[in-house]
């Protein structure tokens, strides 16, 4: 949408290439500075703040080089593309002049979140040799480690070097080029680097104007998107929102919630000018967020909604976990891809708390269903009764969400006690480790199994019950599910 079209359609006064430098709440004016340096004050009756985020720039010596970019806006993408095209053109000319084989450009991506992962994928697609450096011990901190691992495997399979549990300490000139040096002593030369370590809410204007910030550091708002100043609203990544599961303010910079919050702020600001009360039925209220989001890395998709296990532990929430492997559609129909779903729920009530999925196309569909279920306060028993669209090309008669409902509900009914992989690891390291039985076929068992596991194929199990110990705990597993007795 261009500013001209937007202005004509809605009769708006649009000021591009203009920065707001101050808010005078008493006079109800904002001070604006144009690109030519001229300044003016614009009066308001109601003001909506939607300044978004600013990229985090860590204090790393040497970052201010022309071949190091941030990636937040479309102009950022244009700059990166232009740099790559120019660099590749120079290399091609040099190769033709010297009649030698061209070496791929080298890229370093600093940060393993949404932007870092997507940047790494696109650089790989352009033929660059890519190294991704992440300070944490996993990629995609918005998900639990075991659910983000397939993203790392997909990147590495595509040729990306993934460096975890290390951080860039400085950027220096070396050997006629540039390299990053890490805390653990790695030296990684590069032609281009992408800084993608995250963002923070852009609250400078609000803070200077005395508008209250919340505990998250973002602008505190009520359900109407109104700030501590009743004449000023705030929406988007710079403002807090209520988490639907935790019931407390959070700041999750995602486009979906930002769009809805902007709609609510604009509608309510307009109603104020009519003198409408807060009880006016036209008033819009923001109910909250779940942080539903997804990422694609080299044909591997990962999505999340609600609480992760790591979040639940930090918050001290009571939760249980069920994993469910499955396929993107009916297994007998060509092209079915593997996926794994992880669901968190309250042990006592069965209320859904969160879900993560990773795998083939269709992961987003499953998480969208579960996001809706969580927002509606549904339980794992409710998942058993979902009536979902089915046809072999795009689903299964017992789809992954429904299968997860079956498994979690059976656990809650006491029909199928379970143990998670993490819990099994703890038990195997205890003084009384369980006997682990692998019920897959011998061929499957020989292709890879848990260390120390005993193989009793499922079809032979009833006839070999005398081989199952009765004087201690027993854990039975197949491809991805663990059951205990």
Residues in the chain: 485
| Residue 317 tokens, joined | 């929430």
* Residue 155 parent element (H or E): helix 145-157
Q: How far apart are CA 281 and CA 59, in angstroms?
A: 50
Q: What is the DSSP string of 75-139?
A: HHHHHHHHHHHHHHHHHHHHHHHHT-PPPPPEEEEE--SHHHHHHHHHHHHTT-EEEEE-SSSSS
CA-based angle 50:53:58, to the nearest 5?
165
Cβ 306 vs Cβ 291: under 8 Å? yes
Query: Distance between CA atoms of 26 and 380, rounded to whole angstroms?
Result: 52
Please report the DSSP string for 320-359 in residue order: EEEEEEEESS-TTSTT--EEEEEEEE-TTT-BEEEEEEEE
Q: Identify the residue whose tokens are 């997507």.
A: 118
Give the Å distances, CA to CA, from 386 to 379, 389, 390. 11, 10, 12
Q: What are the phi and psi torsion angles at 145 (to 5°)?
A: -55, -45
Cβ atoms of 438 and 480 within 8 Å: the answer is no
Q: To the nearest 10°, the Cα dihedral for 391, 392, 393, 394?
A: 60
DSSP per position, 273-299: HTT--TT-TT------B---EEEEETT
Distance between CA atoms of 283 and 278, rounded to whole angstroms? 7
- Give me the pLDDT at residue 341, please: 96
Q: State the DSSP code for 456.
A: -
Q: What is the rounded distance in angstroms from the CA atom of residue 295 to the CA atom of residue 469?
A: 45
Q: How many helices (H) and strands (E) does the chain have?
A: 12, 26
Scan for tokens 């083939």, then name that residue: 360
Neighbours of 152 (CB within 10 A): 22
DSSP states of 229-246: STTEEE-STTB-EEBTTT
- Nearest alpha carbon to residue 319 among 290, 352, 291: 352
DSSP 420-453: -HHHHHHHHTSSSPPEEEE-S-HHHHHT---TT-
Give the sheet arrangement for strand 168-174, strand by strand: 168-174, 177-182, 187-190
Q: Would you tell me how many other CB atoms lie within 10 Å of the CB of residue 19?
A: 12
Q: Which pLDDT does position 482 carry in this prediction?
A: 46
Contact 374, 354 (CB under 8 A): yes
Question: Measuring CA to CA, which residue among 290, 233, 237 is closest to residue 264?
Answer: 233
Tell me, what's the pLDDT at 423?
A: 87
0.85 exceeded by pTM: yes
Residue 102: what pLDDT? Answer: 63
Tens-digit pLDDT profile for the chain (485 aa)? 889 999 999 999 999 999 999 999 999 999 999 999 999 999 999 999 999 999 899 999 999 899 999 988 899 999 999 999 998 887 666 555 555 556 789 999 999 999 999 999 999 999 999 999 999 999 999 999 999 999 999 999 999 999 999 999 999 998 878 999 999 999 999 999 999 999 999 999 999 999 999 999 999 999 999 999 999 999 999 999 999 999 999 999 999 999 999 999 999 999 999 999 999 999 999 999 999 999 999 999 999 999 999 999 999 999 999 999 999 999 899 999 999 999 999 999 999 999 999 998 999 999 999 999 999 999 999 999 999 999 999 999 999 999 999 999 999 999 988 888 888 888 888 888 999 999 999 999 999 898 899 999 999 999 999 999 998 899 999 875 544 55
């Amino acid at each position: 949408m261009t500013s001209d079209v937007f202005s004509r359609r809605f009769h708006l006064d649009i000021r591009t290439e203009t920065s707001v430098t101050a808010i005078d709440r008493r006079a109800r004016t904002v001070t604006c500075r144009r690109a030519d340096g001229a300044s003016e004050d614009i009066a308001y009756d109601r003001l909506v703040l939607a300044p978004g985020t600013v990229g985090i720039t860590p204090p790393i010596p040497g970052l201010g080089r022309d071949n190091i970019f941030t990636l937040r806006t479309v102009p950022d993408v244009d700059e990166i593309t232009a740099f790559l095209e120019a660099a590749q053109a120079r290399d091609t000319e040099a190769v033709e002049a010297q009649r030698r084989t061209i070496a791929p450009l080298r890229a370093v991506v600093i940060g393993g979140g949404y932007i870092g992962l997507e940047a790494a994928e696109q650089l790989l697609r352009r033929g660059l040799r890519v190294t991704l450096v992440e300070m944490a011990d996993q990629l995609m901190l918005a998900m639990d480690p075991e659910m983000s691992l397939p993203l790392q495997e997909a990147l590495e399979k595509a040729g990306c070097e993934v460096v975890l549990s290390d951080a860039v300490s400085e950027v220096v000139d070396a050997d006629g080029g540039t390299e990053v040096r890490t805390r653990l002593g790695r030296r990684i030369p590069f032609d281009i680097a992408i800084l993608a370590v995250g963002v923070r809410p852009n609250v400078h204007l609000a803070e200077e104007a005395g508008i209250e910030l919340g505990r998250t550091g973002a602008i505190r708002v009520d359900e109407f998107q109104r700030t501590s100043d009743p004449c000023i609203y705030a929406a988007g990544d710079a403002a807090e929102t209520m988490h639907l599961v935790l019931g407390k303010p959070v700041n999750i910079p995602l486009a979906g919630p930002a769009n809805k919050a902007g709609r609510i702020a604009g509608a309510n600001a307009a109603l104020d000018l009519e003198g409408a009360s807060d009880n006016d039925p036209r008033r819009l209220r923001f109910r909250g967020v779940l942080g539903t989001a997804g990422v694609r890395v080299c044909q591997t998709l990962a999505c999340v909604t609600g609480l992760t296990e790591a979040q639940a532990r930090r918050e001290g929430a009571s939760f249980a976990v069920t994993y469910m492997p499955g396929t993107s559609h009916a297994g007998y129909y060509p092209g079915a891809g593997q996926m794994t779903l992880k669901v968190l729920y309250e042990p006592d009530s069965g209320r859904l708390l969160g879900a993560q999925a990773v795998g083939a196309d269709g992961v987003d569909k499953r998480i969208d269903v579960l996001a809706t279920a969580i927002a509606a306060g549904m339980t794992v028993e409710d998942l058993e009764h979902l009536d979902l669209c089915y046809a072999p090309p795009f689903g299964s008669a017992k789809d992954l969400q429904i299968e997860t409902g079956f498994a979690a509900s059976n656990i809650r009914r006491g029909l199928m006690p379970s143990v998670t992989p993490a819990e099994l690891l703890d038990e195997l390291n205890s003084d009384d480790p369980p006997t682990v039985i692998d019920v897959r076929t011998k061929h499957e068992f020989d292709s890879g199994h848990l260390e120390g596991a005993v193989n009793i194929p499922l079809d032979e199990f009833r006839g070999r019950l005398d081989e199952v110990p009765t004087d201690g705990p027993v854990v039975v597993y197949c491809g991805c599910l663990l059951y205990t007795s």
